[in-house]
A and B are shown apart, each in its own frame.
Chain A
Amino acid sequence: MKASRYAPARLILHCLLYALLLGIMGPLWAAAEGQKSTADHSKFKELQQPFATGPEVTKACLGCHTEAAKQLHKTTHWTWAFRNELTGQTLGKRNVINNFCIATASNWPRCTSCHIGYGWKDDSFDLTSETHVDCLACHDTTGGYKKFPTGAGHPNYEPQEWPPKSGKMRQPPDLQKIAQAVGSPGRDNCGACHFYGGGGDGVKHGHLDSSMAKPNKDLDVHMDKDGLNFSCQTCHTTGSHEVAGSRYAPKASDDRGVVVPGQADQNRATCESCHSPQPHKAEAADRLNQHSKRLACVTCHVPEYARGGVKTKTWWDWSTAGKKNAEGKPFKIKDADGYDTYDTQKGDFVWEENVVPEYRWFDGEIQYTLIDDVIDPNGVVPINRIKGSADDPKSRIWPFKVMRGKQPYDKQHKILATPHLFGKDDDAYWKNFDWNNALKAGLASRDKTFSGEFGFVETEYSWPITHMVAPKEKALDCAECHSKSGRMAGIEGVYIPGRDGLPWLDKIAWTLALLTLLAVLIHGAIRIFMSKRG
């Protein structure tokens, strides 16, 4: 609802209530903000020593936190494998295929710079090793700890150049200092991977990028640095190193009600878990609460994504990769804002900001197209399929970022092909730009034989939008959906006033109304004419 439509008296009342709330809650929030651990890690003897490598730090951590690594071993953050009980599919970064850099297999050292471990450089990585858990990626509070982009999860222990051939040297982190200052994860810890997914700032999600590290109120009403200042874990509640909320199996609707202590399920990674399924209290509350039964909260409350000044990638065409410039060298083309629109290694890109989401019915079930799934290359291949319909009371209309592009597929086996992109070997696409070798090696790493014939197929990948929640004054205006060619244009199975109706009824009825008007006007004209004649 728009603030301008608040009656003055009500506005004043709201201000007073809000001030009262702030007065009560302010000190509590402040207390939480300044909450200090009961342990000063710099005083621990175990940490008062130089550390040569990350695993050495981990070994010291595990000396006291005896169960931490075992807990982490059970998480998707560690396994990169996720069993979706709804669909029976095994997902996770090890298994899914996307339309960004396509797949992790055979490209491990580059991808696993975002793994919470050390040394996942090939399939031989030991997922049971406790000392290879990276505690600092999440618990560094100094900001000085950075995993090296091609280091398979390790930071660089010697000065190393990054980006390649840039002449910029990246200094190794001071592990001792960092280890002595560990604490609860902050937004930058989560953001180091989740803001930069897909190989750069904002590339993948569109609603998570570096602007979310210190957002203002307009960008995210909950994480507003001068306001509520939520951390990621405020909603993504944690316990035993397990973090609530899943993109593979999201809750499309949540009828648990407000989550209070004592409930078995303390997951707060839904809007409803704090706001209740009937959250509207001000004007038009009834009608808006009716909407809550069919719409996800974020459909109205995240009017656009990529709103923080960072663009997100919306199109990635691998089929144009491999072009060389006049000197026969790989090259890049940048747009006016400095975003790559072409890269010999990767093909063509489109970047967008302030993007209007696409909307779909969603019941929480997402079916992925995996390496064994036969595709129809004549159409657009869905990387994932969003399930849900108007007939299902648990389904809600959700906003999505739909990532589109073209990517290689095996023409004979009719499967999406996973290229070997990164590596120093001759097969790596980014070294020799030979698709045949890259696809052969990449598919072999997934135990698939490349038929030798490949093509490029258009794909689309739907990402539920959940972050960048705008303040209520900036929620979507009704007419954005309640209009003929509004945002709900593609949504079926529900009557939307302002959009729907029977066009033939309208046509006949307006014609009848006009004819009636015409008839009475003619009747009146004849009366005037006849009375003038006398």
Chain B
Amino acid sequence: MSQRIYIFKRFERFWHWSQAALILFMLVTGFEVHGSYSLFGFAAAAEYHTTAAWALITLWIFAIFWHFTTGEWRQYIPTLDKALDMLRYYLSGIFTHAPHPFRQTQLRKHNPLQRLAYLLVKLIINPLLWISGLLYMFYGSWNDWGLGWLSLSWVAVLHTLGAFMMLIFLIAHVYLGTTGHTPGAHLKAMITGWEEVED
């Protein structure tokens, strides 16, 4: 027996996918600006990266507003309850079709490892990228803002560090998206909003 529950609301899904596209695009253009390869050409890459940054910032403002007005921010309160079980599941249980140790509900849509990972993204990676990126963008105004003591190389290095963390998160996140009760289940839920959960 299984039942369908509505996990991801419309705005949440819009936010997730547009953010996914923007982050992917910003990784591609950002590492070109960093000099890792040549794709669009430096000038275009830098311009696209900046435009996408403003789009993402706008999106984040809406998302933050949404999280607080809906109370959804509570989904990211960290817990260690069943975290070890989850780890054990990913390391062995998943191979033998052992039952999933976590049961999704509307109030607890993320398993404890997800909670930790997303909290890490929201509290460490995003602010790191956001702050260093904005400083990077307004490098020419540092003196006017009394920030002349900042070093562009450190701001750039922190921005790069944030980008690498985001890239590694993205790889793991995409793969773990296939670990639902069928490989496509989580993906489907993220598109339709509806997740099938076993009783």
Binds A, one of B79-87, B92-100, B105-113: B92-100
Contacts of B43 in A (CB 8 A): 1-2, 5, 284, 477-479
A interface secondary structure, majority = helix
Contacts of A128 in B (CB 8 A): none
Judge whether B146 is part of the interface by a CB distance below 8 angstroms: no
Interface pairs (23), CB distance under 8 Å: A5-B43, A286-B140, A289-B140, A290-B139, A290-B140, A393-B143, A477-B41, A479-B41, A479-B42, A482-B35, A482-B46, A484-B35, A494-B152, A495-B153, A495-B156, A500-B156, A501-B160, A502-B157, A505-B161, A505-B164, A509-B164, A513-B168, A517-B171
Binary contact track B149-169/A, C-beta < 8 Å → 1, others 0: 001110011001100100110
Judge whether B172 is part of the interface by a CB distance below 8 angstroms: yes
Nearest A residue to B165, CB-CB: A509
Q: Which of A287, A289, A530 contacts B46 (CB 8 A)?
A: A287
Bound-state CA distance A479–B96 (Å) is 52
A479-B175 in contact (CB<8A): no
Judge whether B21 is part of the interface by a CB distance below 8 angstroms: no
Contacts of A293 in B (CB 8 A): 140
A360-400 at interface with B (beta carbon < 8 Å): 393
Judge whether A159 is part of the interface by a CB distance below 8 angstroms: no
Binary contact track B111-152/A, C-beta < 8 Å → 1, others 0: 000000000000000000000000000011001000000011
B140-A524 in contact (CB<8A): no
Binary contact track A476-510/B, C-beta < 8 Å → 1, others 0: 01110011100000000011011111100110011
Shortest CB-to-CB span from B159 to chain A, Å, is: 10
Binary contact track A512-530/B, C-beta < 8 Å → 1, others 0: 1100110010011011001
Judge whether B178 is part of the interface by a CB distance below 8 angstroms: yes
Judge whether A531 is part of the interface by a CB distance below 8 angstroms: yes
Shortest CB-to-CB span from A517 to chain B, Å, is: 5
Judge whether B38 is part of the interface by a CB distance below 8 angstroms: yes
Contacts of B140 in A (CB 8 A): 286-287, 289-290, 293
A513-B167 in contact (CB<8A): yes
Q: Given A287-B46, A497-B156, A501-B157, answer yes or no on A526-B95 (Cβ-Cβ < 8 Å).
A: yes
Contacts of B36 in A (CB 8 A): 506
Contacts of A495 in B (CB 8 A): 151-153, 156
Bound-state CA distance A194–B172 (Å) is 66
Further pairs besides A482-B33, A497-B34, A520-B172: 8, Cβ < 8 Å: A283-B47, A290-B140, A393-B143, A478-B41, A483-B38, A505-B164, A509-B164, A520-B171
Bound-state CA distance A483–B41 (Å) is 10
Nearest B residue to A494, CB-CB: B152
Q: Which of B38, B96, B160, B175 contacts A530 (CB 8 A)?
A: B96
Judge whether B64 is part of the interface by a CB distance below 8 angstroms: no
